[in-house]
Structure 1
């Protein structure tokens, strides 16, 4: 740091037990005009990068996941799953306190990586992992407000968003690919979908539950999947 940045004359790492930080000492001539220390600090940090992963701007320590959890949980601003895979094994000879060249140490548990970037999960782990990520993210949003949502409902939403092999939003844009005009109209943008169906000559076979409810017909599932007939003929005594 001292060699790369001319105004830095010394630095010191401080560990208070609760937090760890670095103190950097700088010297400037008395004739130096007024300047912003933040810009100088950022420039000095960029000039002394020790290790970085493309796509991750910063990292911070999260709270433990459980009450007695002693593992260090890191959060990042940005996502690069493959970059973390490649950097997860660090050669031990990079550490001055360890003299074991040729060996490596796993500093990130790649089996517990998680991200809210559904597209990144889909690219690196596949559609089933993306489906579970959707369930977890939606569940965590409601969980922050202590709202319980049945997992079967979330699974149904995630299935609809990923059944085509990719993922699509659960809104009018995602529903635009549905073959049921009445089903799309029952969600939102009723007039828009109605006009599109009329112009394109679409028809609805009333197979979806939403379309049948719109038309006042029972849904073809559960008790609506069959009919119960009763013999109304009255038998006469012989």
Structure 2
């Protein structure tokens, strides 16, 4: 090993120059091959100049017959620009930019005075909506976007990067948005209860027969949700019993629910 190091250190300037020349020759051959392939693919390309080592833009010379119809390059350039990827964030598709009203903690729209006409107007800020999500990469663009205002309707991503409380709030917000879009008024306490049930384990579970409902200890409560025969079959095979403590199970059995006025008994002293 020491002999090899000594041989490397004892190389003459002529040998180093020969290696550099070999590198230049290989690069020249690569550029020549690229130029040949380009000319074969496009008949109007007459010359292609590019130096990979310098990193300068390439130069392409096109030659057309004067008798050919006039060619407008602007539409072709615009088409190429729309189909060329300059920078991309993996997982993020189309983006839309619009102006959104700025609200305070109480949900009221902030106002400001227009300096030009002196009229009061809403305070707005630019907002970008995207198809897809990639929160870790988007945090790298803090010079363009506000990292503390990032939001996604992906409960999984909110749970992974911001915690279970953020995932719970996302569930509440998305459910409320769906009901509001259909003009349905639902008390927030009901939605909060659903979100709590979905995230009580520190993760989030679907609010369906495969998630929250399946973990219920009441066979009748599970059957009252959906797929009656499936839950009934499992209850029979496993010998399950129901203490009739939940409101759903008590309604199935024709008993008064132990909630509200039915949650206590009036005891009269003897």
C-alpha displacement at 1:218, in angstroms? 2.6
State whether structure 2 residue 126 is matched by structure 1 residue 72.
yes
Partner of 1:115, secondary structure, is coil
1:119 alignment partner in structure 2: 156
**Aligned match of 1:146 in 180, 183, 208?**
183
2:139 pairs, out of 66, 85, 89, with 85
Equivalent residue number for residue 179 of structure 1? 217
> Following the alignment from structure 1 to structure 2, what is the Cα–Cα distance between the partners of residues 4 and 158?
57
Gaps of 5+ in 1: 8-22, 28-36, 89-105, 234-238
User: Are 2:254 and 1:216 equivalent residues in the alignment?
Assistant: yes
TM-aligned CA distance change 1:203 to 1:4, over 3 Å: farther
Give the 3 Å change call, closer, same or farther, for CA 62–193 of structure 1 in structure 2.
farther
Q: Deviations over 1:56-82 (max 9, x none)?
A: 122111352457232101001110111
> Residue in 2 aligned with 1:194?
232
Gaps of 5+ in 2: 1-56, 62-72, 103-108, 110-121
Find the aligned partners of 1:167 and 1:144 in 2 and give their Cα distance.
24
1:129 to partner: Cα distance: 0.9
**What is the distance in 1 between the residues matched to 2:260 and 2:184?**
28
Tell me the residue number matched to 2:76. 26
Deviations 1:111-135 (A, max 9, x none): 2221111111111111111111011
Instruction: Report how far residue 210 of structure 1 moved.
Output: 1.4
> Deviation per CA, 1:174-201, whole angstroms, max 9, x where unpaired?
2112221111011111111111111111
Residue 18 of structure 1 corresponds to which residue in structure 2?
A: none
Deviation (angstroms), 1:164: 1.6
Measure the CA separation in 2 of the matches of 1:118 and 1:221: 32
Please identify the structure whose Cα radius of gyration is greater. Answer: 2
Secondary structure of 1:75's partner? strand
Normalized against structure 1, the TM-score is what? Answer: 0.68
Distance 1:62 1:137, change over 3 A: farther
Distance, in Å, in 1 between the alignment partners of 2:257 and 2:59 is 72
1:129 aligns with 2:179: no
Displacement over 3 Å in runs of 4+: 3-7
* 1:230 Cα deviation from its structure 2 partner: 4.2
Partner of 2:197: 160
2-side partners of 1:115 and 1:222: how far apart?
A: 38
Deviations 1:7-61 (A, max 9, x none): 9xxxxxxxxxxxxxxx95438xxxxxxxxx97x566x412xx1x33221122111
Q: Which has the higher helix share?
A: 2
Matches within 5 A, 1:34-73: 44-46=83-85, 49=86, 51-65=87-101, 68-73=122-127
Task: Report the 3-state secondary structure (helix = DSSP H, G, I; strand = E; otherwise coil) of the residue aligned with 1:52.
Answer: coil
1:147 CA displacement: 2.2
| Cα distance change on mapping 1:172 and 1:220 into 2, 3 Å | same
